[in-house]
Structure 1
Amino acid sequence: MLPVLLRIRPDEWFAVRMEDGVPVVGVWLICLLWAVYGGISVWLAKQADARRGDGEETELAAQRWIAVAGLAALLSLPLWIGGLLPEDFAGVPVFGYGVMIFCGFAAGGWTGLRRLKRAGLPEGLAYDMTFWAFAAGIGGARLNYLIREHERVYAAPAGTSLGLFEAIKRTVNLSDGGLVLLGGVVGAALALVWVCRRWKVSPLRAADVAIPSCFLGLAFGRIGCLMYGCCWGDRCELPWAIHFPEGGITYDALVGRGFLSPDAPRTYGLHPTQLYSSFNALILSALTAAYFPRRPRDGAVLAMALLIYPPARATLEVLRGDDTGFLDTGLTLAQSMGIVLFALGALLAAWLTWSPDEKNEGTAAPSGPAPSGPASVAG
């Protein structure tokens, strides 16, 4: 368990000193250089476009992100000059779960570029898909959690009401936990459809490109679950059983349910279901990536994912100990949703089998390099 990787100290951002003979440069100065680099990159790309003179624009998404991140650091300067930090400020925590989620999206976006080009889609689509899937996925995952746990999240002391500021704070307080995978999947899927409409690209083709990357991102995310302590397994007597320390959410949950004595220094042995899930996601990522170049038509990889993920997830749920059940069905929420996803996968597979294939009718995007721009890609 490692919920907090490190703490950022903005009060030391301007430090430029020597420590044990090694120069220590403030983070703000590094961000300033980052902003300069981003600005130069954008300028050079525009100069290259002007020299080429063919009317095409170089994809500048990555350079713009670099420049914006550096600019944000510059704009934060007045906050720290004014001495707004309290004297007992301990630093801004960087959570392991969030870092792994970010790494998952980054790895998924990077590995998806090759499939994107092979499908005849522009590189810029990958940046849009990654960014908006990240934003909508986090939003959907948080919304799902708030719907499920609204009574606990928004509980107010007896005889009092929750103020607006406190309610907003609890809504966005991710440090208290609260991201549910299924909500994130729905949010990311809606973002994918919106981005495809913007770029005039077939959503099925884009989904085929994204599916292996989604599983790869899930593999990273489950490592984040282990670091945070959520999604724990049931009792395990095997040599690889893991124990969570006192004070973590796993320990507190088991004590609260009466499964563990409050005097215990740690939990009893539990299945490392987070690692099981991560390994499962890696396998599914490899399988869908290998199937992608062999798919008979657009949508086949998506159908495959919908058919193989629910049974794998349902099997892993048997070893989970965090979910107590869903609506007295004897199934967990993930298993119940898995039935729906499997049915959708079966319907999609049947439709792909019996419906006409537009790719064979000449309406698919060309396999050569596609022009840049959201409105210039054939679907």
Structure 2
Amino acid sequence: MFNDIHIGPVTLHMYGLMIAIGFISALYIVLKRGKNKGLSEDTIYGIFYCAIIGGLLGCRLLFYIVEIPAIIKNPSILWNFKNGYVVYGGIIGGIVTSFIYLKKFRKEKFLPYFDVVMPAVSIAQGFGRIGCFCAGCCYGAQTTSRFHIVFTHSSFAPNGVPLIPTQLISSAGDFLIGLILILYSRKEKTAGRTSAMYLILYGIGRFGIEFLRADYRGSLGIFSTSQIISMVMVIIGIVLFTMAPKLVQEETEETKEEVKEEVKEEQ
């Protein structure tokens, strides 16, 4: 398993490289799909920057929350930025910052952009999981199956032991979800439902893959922290899917009122 690529004096870390490829791919997909749907390119770039900042902060914040007992025992964990980033925190942080940006600064509807962004997010996650595979983090449980991976130089996974390749399973699932959502969005005309499908599909997939993982991720009873969040995400997705028509109407009316207020201010 390789984690680094050496090109002369330059060393490329595969985890970071895959994250970068994921971000660039997501931006390209969102720009292309956004243009087809008549969405603002400037707004998309703004969402992209907000998602990066909010995602990084969210990843770290959720890690702190999950690791509170360990941090109390060893506060130095707070300053160890090499590890400690939780994917769900990044998703939540990115969504929240993008929502604030759209509503407070751009005065635009959230749901149409949400629908364009989330399929690309899933594809970006697919690349990210390949990075996890190269690094050996987010590893699976020990297995006797022929379908396994053995790490030899990982700083995260146990080396020399056949493990379930949960990273590759997750990556394939993320890519598949992204493709399904892009195809689904071509037929679904109600804003909000494509992103609702992301919450439902990713939540179900993540809940299942957690049973195959062996790395520590925090727990609450018999479920991991990520499984608890997955259940909440699926519920939110179902509610959003059901209420999407009403939310679209509310956003439309809200936008009309904001336009009227702007016209009055200009007069």
TM-score (norm 1): 0.61
Determine which structure has the larger helix proportion and give its number.
Answer: 2
Matched residue type, 1:139: L
Tell me the equivalent position of 1:130. Answer: 48
Calculate percent identity across the aligned residue pairs: 27
Give the corresponding residue for 1:301: 194
Q: Residue 358 of structure 1 contacts residue 364 of structure 1 at CA under 8 Å; is this kept in 2?
A: no
Cα deviation, 1:161-216, whole Å, max 9, x if unaligned, reads x7xxxx5xx645432x1111011111101121122122222111110010111001
Change beyond 3 A, Cα 1:209–1:191: same
Please name the residue that 1:109 is paired with: 27
Question: In 2 relative to 1, CA 333–150 (structure 1 residues): closer, same or farther, beyond 3 Å?
Answer: closer
Cα gap change, 1:121 to 1:145, in 2 (>3 Å): same
Deviations 1:93-150 (CA, angstroms, capped at 9, x unpaired)? 7532222112111100001112111222111222212122112111211222233235
- 2:148 aligned partner: 241
Structure of higher CA gyration radius = 1
Tell me, in whole angstroms, the C-alpha distance in 1 between the residues paired with 2:171 and 2:202.
13
Gaps of 5+ in 1: 10-90, 157-161, 252-265, 366-374
The CA distance in 2 between the partners of 1:304 and 1:245, in whole Å, is: 38
> Are 1:119 and 2:37 counterparts?
yes
Structure 2, unaligned stretches of length 5 or more?
Answer: 257-261, 263-267
- Is residue 289 from structure 1 mapped to residue 186 from structure 2 by the alignment? no
- Kindly report which structure 2 residues correspond to 1:116-195, keeping only aligned pairs within 5 A, or say none: 116-150=34-68, 152=70, 171=78, 173-175=80-82, 177-195=83-101
Q: Distance in 2 between matches of 1:283 and 1:322?
A: 24
Write the distance in 2 (CA, Å) between the matches of 1:299 and 1:248.
41
Instruction: Name the CA shift for 1:153/1:96 in 2 (closer, same or farther; >3 Å).
Output: farther
**In the alignment, which residue of structure 1 is the partner of 2:109?**
202
Query: What CA distance in whole angstroms lies between the structure 2 residues aligned with 1:118 and 1:364?
Result: 21
For these two proteins, the number of residue pairs brought into alignment is: 255
Distance 1:312 1:105 in 2: 21
Partner Cα separation in structure 1 for residue 207 and residue 95 of structure 2: 21
Q: Aligned-pair distance for 1:249?
A: 1.5
Tell me, yes or no, if the aligned pair for 2:149 and 2:164 is still in contact at 8 Å. yes
Name the CA shift for 1:290/1:134 in 2 (closer, same or farther; >3 Å): same
Taking structure 1 as reference, are residues 335 and 283 closer, same or farther at Cα in structure 2, changes over 3 Å only? same
Residue 32 of structure 1 corresponds to none
Query: Aligned partner of 2:44: which letter?
Result: A
Q: Which residues in structure 2 correspond to 1:213-224 (within 5 Å)? A: 213-224=120-131
| Partner residue in 2 for 1:267 | 160
Alpha-carbon contact 2:66-2:218 (below 8 Å) kept: no
State the AA in 2 paired with 1:123.
E
Aligned partner of 1:344 among 233, 236, 242: 236
- Give, as a single letter, the amino acid of the residue that structure 1 aligns with 2:166: T
1:356 Cα offset (Å): 7.4
CA apart distance, 1:236? 2.0
Contact 1:101 1:224 in 2 (8 A): yes
The CA deviation at 1:352 is 2.1
- Residue 205 of structure 2 is matched in structure 1 by 312
Which letter does structure 1 place at the counterpart of 2:39? L
Counterparts in 2 of 1:319-358, with a 5 A limit?
319-323=212-216, 326-328=219-221, 330-353=222-245, 355=246, 358=249
Could you say which residue in structure 2 is the equivalent of 1:231?
138
| Alpha-carbon separation, structure 2, partners of 1:350 and 1:269 | 43
User: CA separation in 2, counterparts of 1:2 and 1:154?
Assistant: 35
The alignment yields a C-alpha RMSD, in angstroms, of 2.9
Distance 1:152 1:7, change over 3 A: farther
After superposition, the Cα gap between the structure-2 partners of 1:326 and 1:363, relative to the gap in structure 1 and judged at 3 Å, is closer
Structure 1 residue 325: deviation in Å?
A: 5.9
Q: Which whole-Å CA distance do the structure 2 matches of 1:194 and 1:203 have between them? A: 9
Give the letter aligned to residue 131 of structure 1.
Answer: Y
Distance 1:151 1:297 in 2: 44
SS in 2 for 1:120: coil
